[in-house]
Amino acid sequence: MLGHPLEETEERSLPEFVEDLRERMDRVHRFAREKLKMQSDKMKQHLDTTSTETAFEPGDAVWLYAPKRMKGRSPKLQRNWEGPYTIIKKINDLVYRIQLSPRCKPKVVHLERLARYTGHDPPGWFVVEEPPPRTEEPENSVIRD
């Protein structure tokens, strides 16, 4: 790709040398960009095939992955999941605000640290506010008797 070094016997003027060097550097730069793009696409495809798309709504019960290393205990026997927490707000597609109980401080966590709660009695303290029903009639409606 880079080519062989030019022989010492070939003489060129400074502008020719600079132009040739610029062309070779552009060619190498394009080659590197193409390889980076191919690798990036490959990594994205692998991530897309291995990740699971999970979405939570306000009011859903979830477990929070929060491993704590306690001295004297095997990490294998420690609790890594806390909860059940309740989803308070979906900040964006990947970040959620969760709360353990009404008196606890809310936490902002990434989606990858959450798992759906499948227990028998999820926390029921959080009430999802639904928009009030619409009572107005559309402007173009026709009233018939």
pLDDT digits (tens, 9 = 90+) for 20-37: 999 999 999 999 999 999
At 142 the pLDDT is 57
**Nearest alpha-carbon partner for 55 in 106, 112, 105:** 112
pLDDT attached to residue 125: 76
- Collect the ranges in the chain with pLDDT lower than 70: 1-10, 52-53, 128-132, 135-145
Question: Does one domain contain both 47 and 65?
Answer: no
Residue 5 belongs to some domain of the structure = no
Q: Cβ(100)–Cβ(85) under 8 Å?
A: yes
In a domain, 2, yes or no: no
Query: What are the helix and strand counts (H, E) for the chain?
Result: 1, 5
Is 17 part of a structural domain of the chain? Answer: yes
Kindly report, residue by residue over 124-137, the tens digit of the pLDDT: 777 766 666 776 66
Domain membership flag for residue 98: yes
Q: Nearest Cα to 58, choosing from 112, 121, 125, 103? A: 125
Q: Are residues 87 and 111 in the same domain?
A: yes
The count of domains in the chain is 2
The CATH number of the domain where 75 resides is what? 2.30.30
Domain enclosing residue 26, as ranges: 13-51
Longest Cα pair distance anywhere in the chain, in angstroms?
Answer: 103
